[in-house]
Amino acid sequence: MPDAIPPQPPPHDPGQDARQSPRQGEYRTPYAAPQPGFRVPYGPGYGAAYPPPARRSGWFWAAITVAIVGVVAIAMSWIVASMVKSLGSDANVDGLDFSGNSIAVIDVSGVIVDADAVDKQLEKYGKDDGVKAILLHIDSPGGGAAASQEIYHEVMRVREKQHKKVVASVESVGASGAYYIASACDRIYANPASVVGSIGVIMEWTNYGDLLRWAKMQHVTISHGEYKDAGDPTRQMTPKEEAYFQSLVDNMYGQFVHDVAVGRHATDAKITPLATGQVWTGEQALPLGLIDAQGGYREALIDTARSVGIKGEPHVVRPSKARRGLLGMLNDDADGLFANPSQMLDRSPGFYFLWK
């Protein structure tokens, strides 16, 4: 009896191997048919696209627009208020007072080194018909001889050419060049404890010749003319140079005395005994004729207003001041923040109407 033929395996399908055989390195769990009662863990429609967001109504966008406009308006109002406040709470901004009853107040404070700013303010208010008088609010020990003299002559010009009354009010100090300026005014007010006077001239510079010799440095000068290098800070003056500079100081002193006499409606002979460089208090200066009245800024303002026919509270106008913030200071040249050591060795002889 012939042997039984063994059952043959089903035909091999290569595609089935590709579908069922895992790729290299891939693990695939054996397939298990779902059991009865098996449920999908997520609800129907899972994985479908999210529904589009609801459209905003027109009222929503209108409210957003109103809110933005409100914020911008508040910001602009704050900026304008800050600008007005920065100009001074007790003064009007230039050009905004149309009453024609204004008193212009110009501050002369600190050491006087440049006359340009004060001269421009005097010229502006001298031409302004709405400004009835100008009040110089002075708190200064003086400064450069030429700068002080230039302001003096501008005050006299405004009085004579523009027929505008100019009054000086000395706060704490109105000495030397500052008093020079005050003497050009129609009237001088000072507090009893204010310091005024110091009519005189000083010339000074720094001689650093010993420092150069200590550092074994040599200063070389080539000049033509006997007095061309007079005042060289690297050497001592000769007797002729000293006499030369003294003659310049004496000449400026004579100008100072004469101009004060003209401004105070006095004579040179009356002012000369007071021109010793000495200062006096306001209480002492009144009987000497150096001031016209004792009183502070407020009294000077009211009296000046009454003298030009202003009744009631006078309107005060002041020049606008440019204020620097932190950003402005950082943008400035470094010399504006820190002293340059080289400037200490670069001081040429200077003539000053200065109380020290």
CA 353 – CA 202 distance, rounded (Å): 6
Residue 307 falls in the annotated catalytic set: no
Q: Pick the catalytic residue from 176, 183, 194, 198.
A: 176
Task: Quote the CA–CA distance of 315 and 121 in Å, as a whole number.
Answer: 17
Q: Any catalytic annotation for residue 228?
A: yes
DSSP type of residue 323: P
Distance of CA 230 to CAs 146, 224, 226, 347, Å?
20, 11, 8, 13
Helical pair 145-161 and 116-127, crossing angle rounded to 10 deg: 0
Backbone angles phi, psi at 290, to 5 degrees: -80, -25
Q: What is the DSSP string of 170-236?
A: EEEEEETHHHHHHTTSSEEEE-TT-EEE----EEE----HHHHHHTT--------STTTTTT-TTSP
Residue tagged 């901004």 (tokens): 93
Q: Which helix (H) or strand (E) holds 165?
A: strand 165-175
Q: Kindly report the number of other CB atoms within 10 A of residue 131's CB atom.
A: 21
How many residues are present in the chain? 356
- The span from the CA of 119 to the CA of 181, in Å, is 12
Q: Name the active-site residue from 120, 127, 161, 228.
A: 228
Q: Is 23 helix (H, G, I), strand (E, B) or coil?
A: coil
What whole-number distance in Å separates Cα of residue 112 and Cα of residue 222? 33
Contact in structure between 355 and 202 (CB atoms under 8 Å): no
Catalytic residues: 176, 228
